[in-house]
Amino acid sequence: MDGEPTAESASSTPTAESTPPPPSQPEIAPAAPTSASEDGPGWALWLAALVAALAVAGGLFAFLRRRANAPAPAIERPLTRPVEPTPAPTPEAAPAPAPAPPLSLGETPISPAPISPARLSSPTPSPGAPLSLSAQPVRFSRTMMNATFACRIVLENRGGSAWEDIVVEADLVTAHGAVPIGDQLADPATPLASVHDVAALPAGESMELATDVRLPLQQVRPIRQGSAAVYVPLLRLRVVTPGMAPVAQTYLIGQLPDRPGGRLRPFRLDEIPQVYQAIGIRALGDQA
């Protein structure tokens, strides 16, 4: 039967008396409990570090969240300086003109009909002319108001009898190419301003008359010579006496040349007012 033990099973079941006792284990002394005073500082440091790490992590998380929720900053246009227009290059000043060379009255015509060298020679009285008229220069001056020519007018009686009631006339003009030549030269038929009255001049004798002739500057006719403005004074003379045809003569006035044999030079208007001592005159032909 299933519930009854067999002899075989009974013989194989050990009895309590025959079970050997378990081997004895070495006794291990329990570890001495760690005192709270030794473990306290280490756990406190770890706890403080953990709290600090959590605080840093929380702060970083809050910063990143605020940054993500913050509106995008407006980008302003960079400030730029206004572009100033480039100034136009200043033109270089023209070089100062070189000083004009000395001007010669014979090198540049002063009238539409240039005066020939023959007319610049000393005048000779007309055949049979009993009275000679000429001039000798003294000085030429210019002020802010007038140009003045000082000279000596010379009268010479070449006839056989005395001349009486002689009237000497003179004026001062300037030559210019735009003026007819007939209006620049003395004309025996055209009266001039009276400067001297001579009662009588015996035959064969001569007389010198000191004379100053003035010309207002506003009546000066300038001539352009390159960059300079010059003027050429003309002395016009006329003598009248009863019983004789009037005698007229014109003289060109200029500064003496720089070299012997040169031509007279005109006066410059851009010079300061002054007195010219080195002057000369040339007769413009015999107009008796």
pLDDT for 84-110, tens place per residue? 566 565 655 555 544 444 445 544 444
Q: Would you place residue 258 in the very low, low, confident or very high pLDDT band (cuts 50, 70, 90)?
A: confident
**Residue 73 in this model has a pLDDT that exceeds 60:** no
Residue 84 lies in a domain: no
Comparing 1 with 176, which gets the higher pLDDT?
176
- Specify the residue for token string 């030794």: 38
**Residue 252 in this model has a pLDDT that exceeds 90:** yes
Q: What total of structural domains would you count in the chain? A: 1
Pairing outcome for strands 146-157 and 163-174: unpaired
**Which of 114-118, 149-153, 215-219 has the lowest average pLDDT?**
114-118
Q: Which of 97, 105, 114, 109 has the alpha carbon at shortest distance from 226?
A: 97
Residue 259 lies in a domain: yes
Q: Which residues contact 177 (CB under 8 A, 6 or more apart)?
A: 109, 110, 111, 112, 223
Torsions phi, psi for 157 (to 5 deg): -90, 110
Comparing 180 with 76, which gets the higher pLDDT?
180
Q: Is 232 helix (H, G, I), strand (E, B) or coil?
A: coil
DSSP assignment of 158-185, as one string?
-SSS-EEEEEEEEEEEE--TTS-GGGTS
Q: What is the rounded CA–CA span in Å between residue 193 and residue 52?
A: 127
Adjacent-strand bridge partners of 216: 146
Residue 29 lies in a domain: no
- The region, left, alpha or beta by phi > 0 then psi within -120 to 50, assigned to residue 31 is beta
Helices and strands, counts by H and E, the chain: 2, 12
Residue 175 lies in a domain: yes
Residue 48 lies in a domain: no
Q: What is the CATH number of the domain that holds 179?
A: 2.60.40.10
Question: Quick one: CA dihedral 280, 283, 284, 287, positive or negative?
Answer: positive
Read off the pLDDT of residues 47-71 as tens digits, 9 standing for 90 and up: 666 666 666 666 665 665 666 565 5
Beta strands (DSSP E) in 100-226 are 131-142, 146-157, 163-174, 194-201, 206-216, 223-225
Residue 85 lies in a domain: no
Determine the average pLDDT of the residues in 241-270: 94
pTM above 0.85? no
* CA angle (169, 174, 180) in 5-degree steps: 95
Q: What is the rounded CA–CA span in Å between residue 281 and residue 258?
A: 15
Q: Judge contact between 235 and 251, C-beta under 8 A.
A: yes
Residue 54 lies in a domain: no
Residue 240 lies in a domain: yes
Q: Which residues contact 92 (CB under 8 A, 6 or more apart)?
A: none
Q: Judge contact between 217 and 152, C-beta under 8 A.
A: no
CA of residue 70 relative to chain centroid, distance:
64
Query: For the chain, what percent of residues have pLDDT higher than 70?
Result: 54
Domain span at 197: 130-283
Q: Judge contact between 250 and 234, C-beta under 8 A.
A: yes
